[in-house]
Structure 1
């Protein structure tokens, strides 16, 4: 399984593609596929038939998966998009570190 530095709930910025520059929260991370679903980015339209869950049917917009290499983590402390380093905290747990400001999160 490939290593991913992005987790569910992280704020990320799209760095390539039609949604370049958009920021959003990671709704779902899929490490096996190296993809993430970002809220507000890569919106696709699905034409659905009426069913038990969706009585009306019609055109539904929902976010599609984006490859993890096309997003960068936004540091919760400095607010800039950054690469991620790893360090060990006082309790012996691995934590992520912002490469720009050095903040641990």
Structure 2
């Protein structure tokens, strides 16, 4: 199992967000379209429909980086429905965490 998948499963086991989890979700699918129509290949690492109905878009990486910030912001821009954004990481850099929080992105360290 790769490191990102392991981080995701460890996070799910914590039950910090409870609900229905899906992995590698094509963005078009979340917009009610054929997942492969005009597909640019954009997929979200994980999506959770929480028990309270909240839709979570989640990207998983080992550490907080500018690349990860761009990835979750791109996901958020392309998904038309109301949602929350989060990243799951193994290592947190305080300065980068401030930037993520500025954009209302939850940072979960596992």
Give the TM-score of the pair, scaled to structure 1: 0.25
Higher helix share: 2
Higher strand share: 1
Larger RCO of the pair (alpha carbons < 8 Å, separation 6+)? 2
Give the TM-score of the pair, scaled to structure 2: 0.24
